[in-house]
Amino acid sequence: MVAATYHQAICFTADEGARDFLVTSSPGSLKMKPVFRKERCSLRQYVNCVKYSSKSSLCAIKPIFSSLSSINDSRRTVPESYLILIRHGESMWNEKNLFTGCVDVPLTSKGVEEAIEAGKRIRHLPIDVVYISALIRSQMTAMLALTEHHCKKVPIIVHNETEQAKVWSQIYSEGTEMQSVPVIKAWQLNERMYGELQGFNKLETAERCGKEQVYKWRRSYDARPPNGESLEMCLRRAVTYFKEQIEPQLSSGKNVMVVAHANSLRSILMYLDKLTAEEVIHLELSTGVPMLYIYRENQFIRRGSPLGSIEDGVYAYTENLALYKQNLLDEVLDEVSL
């Protein structure tokens, strides 16, 4: 008999400072109550405070292979859900400092370790559906991360390219289906296409074309590399897909993990955190570091990254972005004081 209620203490980094959250899950509901402590949780305390039952209701959540077309089921009323974002682990071209873009390059051994570490960080968070790009480094990261999940469900890529693909990949055992996590592949989540820069070394390209020009190609919002995509173009496809396919899942109470790339995730973060075109160019993303958002009442609440054995790069914002935002605030305050 599956337990009706599940209680688990989880520590997160958050804007409000160090705190614990008591997560209560039952059929049709998920609540997260803050529990304040006198001092910051250490990693040892975190490991000691995380307790779960193998019979918890989180392990009993049925995946949505059969319900992807009915995500607006009005019978389900869930106050909030989780959104987990992960940039893929280090790829073999990241290691070589090459422009990768849409070239399909696998992970390095370090990238594999990063993916596994990401999985350890999120292993106690409920996951109902996973979205990946069409590129192998995204897929490897997602699959490796999910091998660490405490429910031990099997991630299975949903093939709906043709009617024959749907039939041939159909799962007929309901029990097996319940122990699976659907993984949806979408080219719209692919990395920005870098055009004729793909395959070139970034430093050598900067020496040949000029540092300012290469920085403009890489970090400006609307500049395109030769025959490539601008960040604005990447944003249009990635955010449109997020709004049309992923956000409705969150609205219906599903807990979603998205494993994608620096620029497709940068685009999504621009939407989630309401960044301006000037702010987003200062945004950097660490490979293999999960970012957690709570989706509640059509709002995205940033919760940083679940604690793990690595504390570097807990959240993707860089010092440059923080400084930029602070300067903007100072300018506003100066105008108000005049």
The residues assigned a catalytic role are 88, 191
Per DSSP, the three-state class of 21 is strand
Q: Beta-carbon neighbour count of residue 40 at 10 Å?
A: 11
Residue identified by tokens 């529990």 is 35
Tokens representing 36 are 């304040």
Q: How far apart are CA 138 and CA 100, in angstroms?
A: 13
DSSP 117: H
Q: In whole angstroms, what is the distance from residue 225 CA to residue 263 CA?
A: 14
Contact by Cβ (8 Å): 239, 267: yes
Task: Please choose, from the candidates 1, 8, 4, 12, the residue with its C-alpha nearest in 3D space to the C-alpha of residue 304.
Answer: 12
For 54, counting Cβ atoms within 10 Å of its Cβ (0-12 exposed, 13-18 middle, 19+ buried), the class is: exposed
> 10 near 303, Cβ under 8 Å?
no
C-alpha radius of gyration, the chain, whole number: 21
Q: 237 φ, ψ to 5°?
A: -75, -40
In this structure, are strands 80-87 and 256-260 parallel, antiparallel, or unpaired? parallel
Give the neighbor-by-neighbor strand order of the sheet with 6-12: 6-12, 19-26, 29-35
What does the alpha-carbon distance between residue 58 and residue 297 come to, in Å, rounded to a whole number?
22
Give the span between the Cα atoms of 311 and 171, in whole angstroms. 40
Measured between alpha carbons, how far is 315 from 307 in angstroms, rounded to an integer?
11
